[in-house]
């Protein structure tokens, strides 16, 4: 199962979203560098390393932006340990304005 599919399944099960979009943006980061375990790493744009998560869920009602981000990051902790380098998270409760 792909990393994207795994994340979609976990997000659907945990948040029962009204809207969900998991976008693999790894190709946008080709040539970017970062430090990993004391080594310089350059992304080649392949693989599933960078994602954007757009999610609308009633579970976010009454939560601060930080709490929403934290809840998604905690849910996807295993994926972050397994090679996902970056998550751009755009959470919203039903009825809140989104940019997408």
| More reliable by pLDDT, 83 or 56 | 56
Each domain of the chain, given as residue ranges in start order, spans 3-92
Longest dimension (CA), the chain: 45
Given a contact cutoff of 8 angstroms between Cβ atoms, the answer to whether 47 and 26 are in contact is yes
The tens digit of pLDDT for each residue in 36-60 reads 555 444 444 456 788 999 999 999 9
Residues 6+ apart with CB under 8 A from 18: 56, 57, 58, 94
Report angle CA 9, 67, 75 to the nearest 5 degrees: 25
Output the CATH code of domain 3-92: 3.30.300.90
What pTM was estimated for this model as a whole? 0.81
Between residues 20 and 40, which one has the greater pLDDT?
A: 20
């Amino acid at each position: 199962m792909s990393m994207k599919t795994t994340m979609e399944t976990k997000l659907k099960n945990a948040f029962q979203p009204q809207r969900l979009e998991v976008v693999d943006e790894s190709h946008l980061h080709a040539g970017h560098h970062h430090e990993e375990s004391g080594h310089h790493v350059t992304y080649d744009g392949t693989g599933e390393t960078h994602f954007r998560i757009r999610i609308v869920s009633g579970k976010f009602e009454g939560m601060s932006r930080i709490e929403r981000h934290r809840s998604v990051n905690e849910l996807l902790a295993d994926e972050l340990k397994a090679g996902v380098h970056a998550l751009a998270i755009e959470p919203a409760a039903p009825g809140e304005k989104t940019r997408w």
